[in-house]
A = this chain, B = another copy of it.
Amino acid sequence: MASSLFKFFTFLLLGFFFSLMTPTVNAKILRYKWEVKYQFKAPDCYRKLVIAINGKTPGPTILAQQNDTIIVELKNSLLTENVAIHWHGIRQIETPWSDGTEGVSQCPITPGDTFVYKFIVDRPGTYLYHAHYGMQREAGLYGSIRVSVPDGKTEPFTYDYDRSIILTDWWHQSTYEQATGLSSIPFKWVNEPQSLLIQGKGRFNCSLVTPSSSNISEICNASDPECGHYVLTVVPGKTYRLRIASLTSLSALNFEIEGHNMTVVEADGHYVEPFIIKDLHIYSGETYSVLVKADQDPSRNYWATTNVVSREPKTPTGLAIFNYYPNHPRNTPPTPPTTGPHWNDADIRLAQSRKIKSHKGYIHQPPLTSDRVIILLNTQNTINGYTRWSVNNVSFSLPHTPYLIALKENLTHVFDQTPPPETYDYANYDIYSKPNNTNASSTNSIYRLKFNSTVDIILQNANTMNPKNSETHPWHLHGHDFWVLGYGVGVFDPVNDPKKYNLVDPIMKNTVPVHPYGWTALRFRADNPGVWAFHCHIEAHYYLGMGVVFEEGVEKVGKLPSSIMGCGETKGLKGP
């Protein structure tokens, strides 16, 4: 009797786990074989080394449906360099080892090795993938993930066609040269990008190049078919869902399609209460879906443009052609390209951020209170003469034994076990001045969160080491979406500001900007067992220490695959 009852409960339990582990009916398994390799390419007509996937940058677009399982067999054919790819916006529920964050979720993939990423895309929406190791992302290793709703399900808007574009900025220096400059005394900043690319294409002015070699056309050739204007062809009268993502390394962008309004309907995989804009501000790591109707004079083409905002632009406008069929895609629009709003108008950027609310029919109710509030002040500092970015005066550095493995295997000696600071001395800190104490310390310690607790994060912006300067930082959280409870100007007031939080219809996102001299308040549930990075998505800022790491429920994580091991103290650890 007891035995059959036991069997019955075992059966129930197995059924429960089975339902957790297996994809829903109709969900597919999508397999990709990717080879990552250095190649010479000329995305903006200037030929340089890029990191391509199967010969392409941007890499192949992953087109999936909700609940599909994605399997990417990633072969590293870089010569002496490792790699890791992060699936940006995918929460990796039950697969935290597939997050692709070097130093956090895995050892880097060594040259010649093939690593298998396997995860479920459990929600429809617009996501990304990109390198998450060193500064490799800006060498061109990135692409789109588009997850549609299952057959038969509908979305709260309609459109005729679905298109993805990724916006980036582009340098002619190698990432090695950039990273070495950032780690040098005197500090050598990466400077402004040479080009803005739209879906991997742009056009640099080759006459600015006077190469040391005699053959300029080998280095920069304006008629190289690899470069030029990206063309988005539309059929007059049709409505397009345009999935716009930014993977800039540095630049905040304004995106505009000349003469066409856009209706914002999705942000980071969540439906937005629709609103109409003429131009979209987008920060690195963000994705938006906008609806665009081809309802203008169909006898001509139009410019689609990206312009740098928040930093004084030194980079020409990024140009694509919004091509009305059947006009020739190379017909240059008769009007000058749009130049965007004034780069330094922070108010309109803040106003747009505040406009983004959850679609009324798709509200995920946030918990009304939180269990813990962590305030993260970002400042520019120096450590032993090196320029760094810091959070609460502590600059983050990755250990070389990934946290996920260290925590599961109790390797407590591989990173500092003292928790990082929970806040800063906001009563006495002047966010409008250069930091008094420019000298920060360095740490690899992490925030350990109580499993299933609710955590508030306040991102607090401040002045850099340059007078009267505060920058925009887009922060990206791995393994989670968070509710965006509010944006503010000035110093966050922990007593009064929370009273103004939007607890009614906040949007959920995975990436959010903190505006110059402002603050941004987020809330999330620490309900995804694993270890998760939260960092500024500006490549050089994360490299210089602008990030933190959260652990939650690591004891609930399943057996780690041996494929994530091989570095630091994980040599000789037995796999499954």
Contact = CB atoms under 8 A, between A and B. Distances in A.
Interface residues on A, range: 35 or more
A467 interface: no
A82 interface: yes
Contacts of A79: 134-135, 176, 179-180
A111 B400 contact: yes
Nearest to A83: B80
B110 A38 contact: no
A101 to B, nearest CB: 14
Given A107-B110, A176-B49, A134 B210 contact: no
A567 B568 contact: no
Interface string A145-158: 00000000000000
Interface stretch (A89-97, A265-273, A297-305, A558-566): A558-566
Contact of A133 (B80, B107, B135, B563): B80
A571 interface: yes
Interface in A551-576: 562-563, 565-568, 570-575
A113 interface: yes
A208 B81 CA distance: 32
A176 B179 contact: no
B107 A566 contact: yes
Interface in A98-149: 107-108, 110-113, 133-136
Interface string A47-83: 0010000000000000000000000000000011111
A369 to B, nearest CB: 40
B181 A40 contact: yes
- Which of A83, A172, A208, A568 has the most C-beta atoms of chain B within 10 angstroms of its own C-beta? A568
A209 B212 CA distance: 5
Given A113-B400, A566-B565, A49 B107 contact: no
A181 B81 CA distance: 17
Given A110-B110, A176-B49, A180-B39, A134 B80 contact: yes
A184 interface: yes
Contacts of A562: 571-572
Contacts of A399: 112
Interface in A25-49: 38-40, 49
Contact of A81 (B80, B112, B566): B80
A177 interface: yes
Contacts of A107: 110, 566
A419 interface: no
Interface in A152-204: 172, 174, 176-177, 179-181, 184
A211 interface: yes
A181 B39 CA distance: 8
Interface string A411-445: 00000000000000000000000000000000000
A275 B79 CA distance: 43
Interface of A: 38-40, 49, 79-83, 107-108, 110-113, 133-136, 172, 174, 176-177, 179-181, 184, 208-212, 398-400, 562-563, 565-568, 570-575
22 contacts: A38-B176, A40-B181, A49-B177, A79-B176, A80-B108, A110-B567, A111-B400, A112-B399, A172-B212, A174-B174, A176-B176, A208-B212, A209-B212, A210-B211, A210-B212, A562-B571, A562-B572, A565-B571, A565-B572, A566-B570, A572-B573, A572-B575
Which 10 pairs from chain A and chain B are nearest by CB?
A112-B400, A566-B566, A572-B575, A80-B134, A562-B572, A79-B134, A110-B567, A38-B180, A210-B210, A566-B571
